Structure 1
Amino acid sequence: MSERSPAPGALALVQSLVNTLDIESGADSLDTPDGRVPFGLTEDEVPAVRELRESLRAALLAHAGHPAHRAVTPLGELLAAVPLVVTVDAGDGSGALAPADEGPLLSRVAAAIAEALVEGTWTRLKACEAADCHWAYYDRSPAGRGRWCSMQVCGARAKMRRYRAKQTFSKGS
Structure 2
Amino acid sequence: MSARSAAPGSLALVESLVNTLDIRPGADALDTAEGRARFSLTEDDVPAARELRESLRAALLAHAGHPPHAPVTPLGDLLASAPLRVTVDAADGAAALAPVDGACLLSRVAAAVAEALVAGTWQRLKACEAEDCHWAYYDRSPAGRGRWCSMQSCGARAKMRRYRAR
Q: TM-score normalized by structure 2?
A: 0.98
The reply to whether residue 136 of structure 1 matches residue 133 of structure 2 is no
Match of 1:171 in 2: none
CA drift of 1:28 comes to: 0.4
Secondary structure of 2:90's counterpart equals coil
Secondary structure of 1:25's counterpart equals coil
Match of 2:5, as an amino acid?
Answer: S
**1-structure distance, mates of 2:36, 2:84:** 24
Match of 1:95 in 2: 95
The reply to whether residue 85 of structure 1 matches residue 74 of structure 2 is no
Instruction: Extract unaligned runs of 5+ from structure 2.
Output: none
Q: Could you say which structure has the larger radius of gyration?
A: 1
Match of 1:29 in 2: 29
**2-structure distance, mates of 1:125, 1:75:** 14
Instruction: Extract unaligned runs of 5+ from structure 1.
Output: 167-173
The reply to whether residue 105 of structure 1 matches residue 105 of structure 2 is yes
The reply to whether residue 43 of structure 1 matches residue 39 of structure 2 is no
Percent sequence identity over matched residues?
80
CA drift of 1:87 comes to: 1.3
**1-structure distance, mates of 2:102, 2:118:** 19
Structure 1 stretch displaced more, 95-104 or 125-134: 95-104
CA drift of 1:71 comes to: 0.1
Structure 1: which 4+ aligned runs deviate by more than 3 Å? none
Match of 2:3, as an amino acid?
Answer: E
CA drift of 1:132 comes to: 0.3
CA displacement 1:111-166 (0-9 Å, x = unmatched): 00011001000110000000000000000000000000000000000000000001
**2-structure distance, mates of 1:103, 1:125:** 23
**2-structure distance, mates of 1:93, 1:48:** 35
**2-structure distance, mates of 1:62, 1:83:** 25
Q: CA RMSD in A?
A: 0.7
**2-structure distance, mates of 1:12, 1:151:** 20
CA drift of 1:102 comes to: 1.9
**2-structure distance, mates of 1:152, 1:49:** 30
Match of 1:72 in 2: 72
Aligned length: 166
Structure 1 stretch displaced more, 42-51 or 81-90: 81-90
**2-structure distance, mates of 1:137, 1:64:** 10
CA drift of 1:84 comes to: 2.2
CA displacement 1:17-65 (0-9 Å, x = unmatched): 0000000110001001011111001011101100000000000000000
CA drift of 1:94 comes to: 1.0
CA drift of 1:97 comes to: 1.4
